[in-house]
Amino acid sequence: MSSDIKTIGLIGAGHIGGVLAELAVTAGYNVVLSNSRGPETLTETVEALGPHASAASAASAAESGDLVVVSIPFVAYESVPVEPLAGKTVIDTNNYYPARDGVFPAIEDGSTSASKLLAGHLPASHVVKAFNGILFSHLASLGRPAGAPGRSALPIAGDDAEAKAQVTDFLHRIGYDVVDAGPLAEDWRFRPATPAYGIPFGGGRPDFWAADPHPAGADEIRRRLQEAEPVRALGGELPDDYDPVRRD
Ligand SMILES: NC(=O)c1ccc[n+]([C@@H]2O[C@H](COP(=O)([O-])OP(=O)(O)OC[C@H]3O[C@@H](n4cnc5c(N)ncnc54)[C@H](OP(=O)(O)O)[C@@H]3O)[C@@H](O)[C@H]2O)c1
């Protein structure tokens, strides 16, 4: 591995964190997983991932990771350890769902966003938004080697060029091309209820969570990012039957 990123720390080891851990191990990284209940609850997960995986507290996972993924219910963002993440690139997969997270008036009125709140909580880290707009099961199965037909692309957003380069390299290694959507403030282009959110990887179906995985390349992602409308992105409502964290 040419990159200086050897170990991925994961804060949150659920649907998305678990899939990312698997993809990362397959790509040759070490992973350190954590959750809210403690490392002893991750024994089976770690055993299934093999010798390059271990479990720790969130603070230890943050400390161990050369690159750290935060993939937890957004409402818990203030529990993310701050000091061990100083100077590091942090991937933010989180989405704000008022039905799950409670209502944040400052997000609802557009004066801030879930990503900006996490970035504000981690002032010495470089937050890059990624993986928030693909269903975990689609993420698990759409990865392809570089240059392979049907390789999909994922959008990222962030303010630090070096951090985005690290995240881009990570995505490339786990099987995805990257579309740079711009600074973190542009992440509204792939928030819930935008055309780039989930839909491309469900073959264009608005009920993408019920669809088989479908590859979507960089051109399609770029087009869908351009189609996003700010008002809809900020106040987006999802259908009643959409459960972003369902367990089947
Ligand atoms: N599901 C999807 O397909 C999908 C797709 C894109 C983005 N997202 C977003 O990504 C985030 C994670 O989604 P998910 O579906 O992976 O959720 P999930 O399956 O519910 O998993 C959440 C994980 O976060 C852990 N956690 C909760 N609070 C924590 C804390 N304070 N510190 C450390 N770990 C904590 C949980 O641990 P415990 O079980 O021990 O509490 C669990 O491992 C959410 O913001 C979601 O909106 C989800």
Nearest CA to ligand 1 atom 6: 132
pLDDT in tens, the chain (248 residues): 446 999 999 999 999 999 999 999 999 999 999 999 999 999 999 999 999 999 999 999 999 999 999 999 999 999 999 999 999 999 999 999 999 999 999 999 889 999 999 999 999 999 999 999 999 999 999 999 998 999 999 999 999 999 999 999 999 999 999 999 999 999 999 999 999 999 999 999 999 999 999 999 999 999 999 999 876 565 555 555 655 544 33
44, exposed or middle or buried, with CB in 10 Å at 0-12, 13-18, 19+?
A: exposed
Residue 13 Cα to ligand 1 midpoint, Å, equals 7
Q: What angle do CA 106, 109, 114 make, to 5 degrees?
A: 50
Instruction: Write down the pTM of the prediction.
Output: 0.95
Go through the chain and tell me how many residues it has: 248
Residue 147 Cα to ligand 1 midpoint, Å, equals 31
The DSSP code sequence of 35-83 is -SS-GGGGHHHHHHH-TTEEE--HHHHHHH-SEEEE-S-GGGGGGS-SG
Please work out whether the CB of residue 72 comes within 6 Å of at least one atom of ligand 1.
Answer: yes
Q: Report the top-level CATH class of 7-235.
A: alpha beta
